[in-house]
Amino acid sequence: MKNLHIESIERGINPTLVLITESGHGTRSLGRMLGSLIRRATFIGLTGPLGSGKTCFAQGVADGLGVRSRVRSPSYILVAEHAGVLPFYHIDLYRIDDAHEVADLGWDEYLGVDAVVVVEWPEKAGGLVPASKIDVDISHLAPLERRLTISATGTQEGRLVGDLAGLLWESARGAGEAEPLDRGTSG
């Protein structure tokens, strides 16, 4: 896939993908691919420095879920709710100081429904983050280039990341770009 390169795939119970995107479009496309695979409640935590592309990835997940409304960073409103194939909650905890403030947002209510919950700065929630989740860590490599490490904890989440790996593999193979793939460990 143009603007997206697979660096490595580790298969197993808790798979991990490491990918390089060359633009915001590539980051959003990756999020869209993941979103298109989600069929039930899923928690996705997005970590990385300011300006790394967390909101861009969240917009892609929303696209993949069929969200038609504009998805913006909820930095000031903290939580944005959108309708899609599943309800989509985009939460930004950047301005939150501790887990008590997170709980006051109605955190349990968002996690207690059949929805996709995408959280920027999930580390601010501490022990309130569910054990079954997808983590996406985004780091800067160059002005537009990003490294995304996508890992899963939990059976359903592991399947989603495994399905994403398969989709990326097929896409790379179809484009004649499958050579650089590191298949990692089989599991």
Which residues, 6 or more positions from 83, have their beta carbon under 8 angstroms from its beta carbon? 67, 68, 69
CA angle (84, 94, 61) in 5-degree steps:
25
Where does the pLDDT of residue 58 fall: very low under 50, low under 70, confident under 90, or very high at 90 and above?
Answer: very high
For residue 178, pLDDT over 70 is answered with: no
pTM above 0.85, yes or no: yes
* pLDDT 10s digits, 117-146: 999 999 999 999 999 999 999 999 999 999
What is 4-174's CATH superfamily? P-loop containing nucleotide triphosphate hydrolases (3.40.50.300)
* pLDDT 10s digits, 67-82: 998 888 766 668 888 8
